[in-house]
């Protein structure tokens, strides 16, 4: 599976939007882009995924670059509950594995 | 639905002991995974299974064994426990073979080997 690159940490003020970037320059045409987050002392939870088009759900939005070599997870209004480690993962249509990197640790400042 | 259930939640082992971490899911998912997470680190894939009777190695399989006799259960066996296996272990399952399938995780099993 292709690798992803994320910043180690980011900070955001409460109630402001947060843009979490992910680079995946070796992405293939069948790779889906997944985002998960892990709250302290919990297992990871699914946030959002997409293939080519931008996606919105109740938790976040996913903006995918036109060449698909990067993507951005957007939290529209950060809350203290959004403080977590966010993982960007690629999963191929034929691959069986999910490989997690080290993710981005998001701190939300009250 | 209970989702993915892991037992035990906590366990302390002595060096050289063996144990099995249990994982069961009630969502009829074909795909199941075991990860370990060391303090301050990301998740590493240990083993995965694409269906009953089929398992395969992930990134860090040494020191572990798995079996998948039913769709619901995917136990992880630690033989001859070592301090390097001190970690939090997560089981996960996925409902689709296609890239869109999302992972559902259990709450984790915290293992300490002394």
Q: What's the CA gap between A27 and A25, in Å, rounded? A: 6
Q: What is the DSSP letter of A5?
A: B
Mean pLDDT of chain B: 93
In the 3-class helix/strand/coil scheme, how is B70-82 assigned residue by residue? CCCECCEEECCCC
CA distance B24 to B9: 13
Backbone angles phi, psi at A81, to 5 degrees: -70, -15
Q: What single string gives the DSSP state of each residue in A35-73?
A: EEEE-TTS--EEEEEESSS-EE-SS-EEEE-TTSSEEEE
B106 and A91 within 8 Å at the Cβ level: the answer is no
Element containing residue A77 per DSSP (H, E): none
A interface mutation test: which of B36, B43, B56, B94 has the most A CBs within 10 A? Answer: B43
Q: Check pLDDT > 80 for residue B99.
A: no
Q: How many A-B residue pairs are in contact by the CB < 8 A criterion? A: 63
* Residue B102 φ/ψ, nearest 5 degrees: -95, 155
- Round the CA-based radius of gyration of chain A to a whole number and report it: 13
DSSP letter (8 states) at residue A82: G
SS3 A16: coil
Query: Average pLDDT of B44-61?
Result: 93
Record: contact B90-A42, CB cut-off 8 A? no
Q: A44-94, pLDDT tens digit by residue?
A: 999 999 999 999 999 899 999 999 999 999 999 999 999 999 999 988 766
CA distances from A61 to A47, A68, A75, B100 (A): 9, 16, 7, 16
Residues of A in contact with B98 (CB under 8 A): 32, 93
| pLDDT score, position A1 | 52
* DSSP label at residue A59: S
Q: What is the distance between the alpha carbons of residues A79 and A18, in angstroms, rounded to a whole number?
A: 10
Summarised one tens digit per residue, pLDDT across range B4-13 is 999 999 999 9
What does the alpha-carbon distance between residue A110 and residue A107 come to, in Å, rounded to a whole number? Answer: 10
The model's confidence at residue A28, banded by pLDDT at 50, 70 and 90, is confident
Nearest to A72 by CA among A88, A52, A90: A88
Which residue, B77, B78, B108, is CA-closest to B92?
B108
Q: Which has the closest alpha carbon to A31: A70, A2, A72, A61? A: A2
């Amino acid at each position: 599976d292709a690798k992803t690159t994320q910043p180690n940490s980011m900070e955001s003020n409460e109630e402001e939007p947060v843009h979490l970037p992910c680079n995946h320059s070796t992405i293939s045409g069948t790779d889906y882009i997944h985002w998960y987050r892990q709250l302290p002392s919990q297992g990871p939870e699914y946030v959002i995924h997409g293939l080519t088009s931008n996606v919105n759900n109740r938790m976040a939005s996913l903006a995918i670059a036109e060449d698909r070599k990067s993507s951005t997870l957007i939290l529209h209004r950060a809350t203290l509950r959004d403080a977590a480690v966010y993982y960007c993962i690629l999963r191929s249509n034929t691959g069986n594995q999910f490989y997690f990197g080290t993710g981005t640790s998001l701190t939300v400042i009250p | 639905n209970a989702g993915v259930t892991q037992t035990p939640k906590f366990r302390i082992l002595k060096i050289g002991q063996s144990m099995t971490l249990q994982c069961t899911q009630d969502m009829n998912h074909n795909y199941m995974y075991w990860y370990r997470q060391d303090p301050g680190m990301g998740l590493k894939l240990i083993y995965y299974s694409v269906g009953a009777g089929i398992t395969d190695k992930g990134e860090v399989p040494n020191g572990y064994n798995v079996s998948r006799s039913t769709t619901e259960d995917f136990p992880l066996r630690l033989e001859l426990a070592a301090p390097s296996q001190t970690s939090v272990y997560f089981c996960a399952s996925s409902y689709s073979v296609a890239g869109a399938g999302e992972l559902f995780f259990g709450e984790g099993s915290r293992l300490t080997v002394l």
